[in-house]
Amino acid sequence: MIPDKAPGEDVYQATCDLRKEAHVPSFEKYKELYLKSVENPEEFWGDVAKDFFWKSKHTGQFLDYNFDVTKGKVYIKCMEGAITNICYNVLDRNVHDKKMGDKVAFFWEGNEPGDELKVTYRELLKQVCKMANVLKSLGVKKGDRISIYMPMVVELVVAMLACARIGAVHSIVFAGFSAESLCERILDSQCSLLITADGFYRGDKLINLKMIADDALEKCTEKNFSVQKCIMLKHLSKDGSLLPEGSQSPPAKRACSDLQVPWNPEVDLCWHTLMEEASDECEPEWCQSEDPLFILYTSGSTGKPKGVLHTVSGYMLYTASTFKYVFDHQPDDVYWCTADIGWITGHSYITYGPLANGATSVLFEGLPTYPDVSRMWEIVDKYQVTKFYTAPTAIRLLMKYGSGPVQKFTRRSLKVLGTVGEPINPEAWLWYYNVVGEKRCPVVDTFWQTETGGHVLTPLPAATPMKPGSAAFPFFGVVPAILNESGEELEGPNEGYLVFKQPWPGVMRTVYGNHERFETTYFKKFPGYYVTGDGCRRDKDGYLWITGRIDDMLNVSGHLLSTAEVESALVEHEAVAEAAVVSHPHPVKGESLYCFITLKDGFDYTISLEAQLKKQVREKIGAIATPDYMQNAPGLPKTRSGKIMRRVLRKIARNERDLGDVSTLADCTVIEQLFQNRCNTA
């Protein structure tokens, strides 16, 4: 499956300097390690595990699993019998065993230039212990679910690791999500406590986070579920330093007179007061390997988000080793991942993977365009960032402004560049490689999912010759295959469904509270395989190219959305009888939402109605789901059995007249009308 020899033509290679220090310096070495990882996982992962602390060792086989629904329940167990704590491994082990207490864990860079903070491993450990004690004092126990809804501040990392320390299960909700989305997630995992902040700025825009959080809690109460306590961090409204050693993020320098902080004394607690009183020592709760670590919601094709569940040991080993090898982590690196911790990229590659390796990271609160489009490169120079990880959408956005803003800064420290979240088009890849990295930094195009826990297809920077736009080859322990519609494995150059044949330590274990949905979504279509939902092409050299989602999901700026969840937000409006949402290509966001709206009798399609519908989607889901295009659709193309033909709608949205086979259409006349009402998408 992996070629014996890497191709030497039409590829980009790492420099000799990078190879000299690399963990995996050649393609041959990658291949050797890869073979070991799939032929002898016990030995391969056993070597990785040696670097961690285990209260007791595992007893059974390293990985025990069933991927075949026809043979019984699907399960994955890694290192059964082992006992450990992930927080202990990413903090105490670094501070005490590795003597790295004074090493910087995070350089926090606020939204406003000049807002900054440095946190060492020792300080982080203290803060985490304090928060862990706070949670315990509030009655939180192992296995309890805690919802976290916070901006990109160090305290977000503190909150998540405090949960991990006491065996509580964190469920982080991206702070860009709406009250409704937060409520839905709190209800699904029955979270007893919410941790949030007063508010934050995203560029120029003030987000009154506590108000949204309160709204969510009210919605929960209406649905007969009460969150017992809400801890609120004062991020913008801080009234002086309550904690010692400057170990909390400083007040934002920006004036925030519009900040509104509702306060309910029966539920609300102040982060700072609680922390002041708490002890900074806390014995970790020792966990079983397969104890749950966190739940993270991702869009599901039925419209209801799925609570992806990850467990302790496998996730720890997998995020640690992917971080080490994919970014070729070295002790003096300064690493920066621009993702938000509210997404899986932040969980795995801001918190757990980097900290497990004792890395120094930049934690950035702001936007790539604020206060100007040089901000990223300014930060790279400021902290001498060596490894940089971002999304194709950010690259395409900055590319629009040309090389000038990039070249205002030297970026001399950069060694490896990474991308994640969606397919990267070769133009964007080449701009990233040529302009940002000045042809000196390999680009690792990492394909993975919330469900996979960590990278599954990716080049290794010094080992894999790169092809712009290809995620190249599998990471250690991962065995991909391409299947045709009948479920047959396709060899050689081919295209089809991307699946995986066996588990790796970091793969999800279940959909929280709904194992049947887990089996149906990932294992029923092709029994024996984990089905990613993505299409994939293999070229003549064995390189894998992700071709995009092949289900009813869209990828907007690297964020997955299901057409069903946007449709259900639209039809909740009193004027809407039916809605159909399809993907439309977008030069920066990759994909955008194009919505067809059928109104109920008696309602008129107006600009003001469109604005109301957009607002409704924003309020129900969040700003990322705001439709780009919306058109009046007095009729929708349907089959005789009443199914909407989205394939046809996609073509109409793109103004492509070649509709393919439409013989199953119940009423052809709607088509011409839809073409006439098309939005101008040029």
Q: Beta 268-270 vs 229-233: how paired, if at all?
A: parallel
The residue (of 276 and 427) whose beta carbon lies closer to ligand PRX is 427
Packed helices 27-39 and 41-49: angle between N→C axes, nearest 10 degrees: 110
Residue 546 binds ligand PRX (CB under 6 A) = yes
Which residues in the 334-353 window bind ligand PRX by CB under 6 A? 344-345
What are the residues whose beta carbons fall under 8 Å from the beta carbon of 508, sequence distance 6 or more? 308, 309, 310, 450, 451, 452, 453, 518
Would you give the binding string for ligand PRX spanning residues 292-311, x where CB under 6 A is met? ------x-------------
The residue (of 199 and 437) whose beta carbon lies closer to ligand PRX is 437
Q: Report yes or no: 609 and 579 within 8 Å, Cβ to Cβ.
A: no
- Taking the C-alpha atoms of residue 18 and residue 380, their distance in angstroms, rounded to an integer, is 19
Residue 193 binds ligand PRX (CB under 6 A) = no
Closest contact distance (angstroms) between CB of 311 and ligand PRX is: 18
Which residues in the 455-474 window bind ligand PRX by CB under 6 A? 471
The residue (of 474 and 533) whose beta carbon lies closer to ligand PRX is 533
How many chain residues touch ligand PRX (CB under 6 A)?
A: 21
Residue 498 binds ligand PRX (CB under 6 A) = no
Q: Which residues face 546 on adjacent strands? A: 536
The residue (of 533 and 627) whose beta carbon lies closer to ligand PRX is 533
Q: Report yes or no: 558 and 424 within 8 Å, Cβ to Cβ.
A: no
* DSSP string for residues in 29-44: HHHHHHHHHHH-HHHH
Residue among 532, 562, 563, 592 that touches ligand PRX (CB under 6 A) = 532
Residue 521 binds ligand PRX (CB under 6 A) = no
The residue (of 305 and 637) whose beta carbon lies closer to ligand PRX is 305
Q: Which stretch binds ligand PRX (CB under 6 A): 199-207, 271-279, 316-324, 448-456?
A: 448-456
Residue 448 binds ligand PRX (CB under 6 A) = yes
Residue among 94, 446, 464, 557 that touches ligand PRX (CB under 6 A) = 446
Q: Which two tokens stand for residue 611?
A: 């604005």
- Taking the C-alpha atoms of residue 465 and residue 470, their distance in angstroms, rounded to an integer, is 11
Residue 92 binds ligand PRX (CB under 6 A) = no
Q: Which stretch binds ligand PRX (CB under 6 A): 358-366, 487-495, 526-534, 577-585?
A: 526-534
Rounded to 5 degrees, what angle do the CA atoms 183, 337, 29 make?
Answer: 125
Residue 549 binds ligand PRX (CB under 6 A) = yes
Closest contact distance (angstroms) between CB of 532 and ligand PRX is: 6
Q: Which stretch binds ligand PRX (CB under 6 A): 227-235, 399-407, 446-454, 484-492?
A: 446-454
Closest contact distance (angstroms) between CB of 233 and ligand PRX is: 26
The residue (of 110 and 453) whose beta carbon lies closer to ligand PRX is 453
Which residues in the 559-588 window bind ligand PRX by CB under 6 A? 560
- Taking the C-alpha atoms of residue 86 and residue 53, their distance in angstroms, rounded to an integer, is 9
Closest contact distance (angstroms) between CB of 546 and ligand PRX is: 4
The residue (of 355 and 498) whose beta carbon lies closer to ligand PRX is 498
Residue 569 CB-half CA count within 13 A: 27
Residue 453 binds ligand PRX (CB under 6 A) = no
Would you give the binding string for ligand PRX spanning residues 242-281, x where CB under 6 A is met? ----------------------------------------
Residue among 201, 447, 497, 596 that touches ligand PRX (CB under 6 A) = 447
Closest contact distance (angstroms) between CB of 346 and ligand PRX is: 10
Closest contact distance (angstroms) between CB of 337 and ligand PRX is: 11
Question: Which DSSP state fits 79?
Answer: S
The residue (of 407 and 626) whose beta carbon lies closer to ligand PRX is 626
Residue 555 binds ligand PRX (CB under 6 A) = yes
Closest contact distance (angstroms) between CB of 539 and ligand PRX is: 15
- Taking the C-alpha atoms of residue 396 and residue 427, their distance in angstroms, rounded to an integer, is 9
Q: Report yes or no: 234 and 245 within 8 Å, Cβ to Cβ.
A: no
Closest contact distance (angstroms) between CB of 470 and ligand PRX is: 9
The residue (of 380 and 561) whose beta carbon lies closer to ligand PRX is 561
Which residues in the 406-445 window bind ligand PRX by CB under 6 A? 420-423, 445
What are the residues whose beta carbons fall under 8 Å from the beta carbon of 388, sequence distance 6 or more? 335, 336, 338, 380, 414, 416, 417, 418, 436
Q: What residue spans of 50-101 are helical by DSSP H?
A: 86-87
Which residue, among 186, 103, 201, 214, has the nearest Cα to 152 in the 3D structure? 201
* DSSP string for residues in 255-297: --TT------TTTEEEHHHHHHHS-S--PPPPEETTSEEEEEE
Q: Which two tokens stand for residue 563?
A: 């057409």
The residue (of 530 and 594) whose beta carbon lies closer to ligand PRX is 530
Q: Report yes or no: 673 and 634 within 8 Å, Cβ to Cβ.
A: yes
Closest contact distance (angstroms) between CB of 423 and ligand PRX is: 4
Measure Cα distances from 199 to 65, 252, 554 in Å. 44, 10, 29
Closest contact distance (angstroms) between CB of 375 and ligand PRX is: 22
3-state helix, strand, coil in the chain (%, to 5): 30, 25, 45
* DSSP string for residues in 573-634: STTEEEEEEEEEEETTTEEEEEEEEEEPTT----HHHHHHHHHHHHHHTBGGG--SEEEE-S
Residue among 249, 351, 450, 562 that touches ligand PRX (CB under 6 A) = 450
Measure Cα distances from 23 to 72, 106, 328 in Å. 40, 24, 6
Would you give the binding string for ligand PRX spanning residues 599-618, x where CB under 6 A is met? --------------------
The C-alpha R_g of the chain, in whole angstroms, comes to 25
Closest contact distance (angstroms) between CB of 425 and ligand PRX is: 11
**Rule CB under 6 A: which residues touch ligand PRX?**
298, 344-345, 420-423, 445-450, 471, 532-534, 546, 549, 555, 560
